Structure 1
């Protein structure tokens, strides 16, 4: 007898605790969709998916919407800026309202950490985390892992350097959990004031010189909107000490690849001329986001 998965089992709240087999299944299904000969399918015809973004987003929201439409789902776009949230409605009541109207799955991005986990315990439809505070961004990490596997063939044994604002980065955390599960060594590089206190003892920090010797060099966006005053002196100083400048790019191993979750602050985390360097996979990452999210949405709606 085949057991039907619960909404909680079909949800994707984070990669921490997800098994290697589950991650590989998503990657394989994403590969299927990446090579699918027809752009729009009827795979999820008659299903309704709501994009509920309580925090601003461009790339992630468009990527999810494109993935939903390629699968043939009916798409509802929710923006907190023009919703009843502005009138005082809670996030729970908003999601519960859409659930009551009959949506089949919800994609959620929000600022507060922990709220998504609480919602998932109360809501009876699968939820997909599109970024919650500085906690996790699982689909970004999945597309990053997919991009690495696409280039190297496998993840096992790779050394991945993640450079930048670790403290505020949900991308760094999801990549840490996912890459470790897949057998990669993950090391961080960050200014002292941008190191993550909550990860102390679980991770290794290296110098920028050592970080550049990795197989994958991933730069993080300098999230100025999340910084307290005085956290950095200037963007120029950050670039000088931690940016992937054109000079530093010459130190990369010939087989290494450059990654960035985007949006990119050009000439801050990475020099303008390095963004589309022959070793850069930044726009490949963006392209890979659509099949990864197709796989995750299909898994959720089933």
Structure 2
């Protein structure tokens, strides 16, 4: 990750500026020489390198061509274009209520052909039942100090989840076994949630895997919660924000991590056995 949890949009711009400056230096070019190669005033080079002026896609292409790094242009353009959206504070997003936040994701899910979801601590949102979602969203509202419309938001989340029944989509969900034991809501709500996982995991368009706690030798350590939409966006959930990763090389890292995590999971009857064991533990 190039963006830390405490980063801002300015930090994202500075990261792009730093990479461009490194390209110039590694190519052995001075500020004036780079400007001459690109056909602009040397002051523009300085402004870009000091993150005072955001480079346009054309600027970046010219810069990469002048420094012999045309293969890096796509990543740098993506990083620059999305600097303002890489880091979004949760409080800004939930200010109008948790229910509207659920609705804001609908089009994203509907435009995604293949959704990969890894969750080490919670049942993924698209698989949550209303009781489980209500307990989780109410807790989130209290934590962030925003209006608690958890009941309405939970209904919206369940309605949003109908996308898993729509044609043209594939979903691959991975959770750690511990998720089955982190109790949200009362025992009845948790039992209903676990019971639904038995059903959802059997849907033809859904692959549902559980990484057992007793896995003898992990090939990948537990990660933060993240979703990968096709190969165009990786959304990472943090305590204070959602980080949207759009650089192709970074998205590839998340896909690589997901596939390694996937090799440790159990599916089908083995996964159902773990869920049944967790249901029995509620009694």
TM-score (norm 2): 0.26
TM-score (norm 1): 0.25
When you count helix as a share of all residues, which structure comes out higher? 2
State the structure with more CA Rg.
2
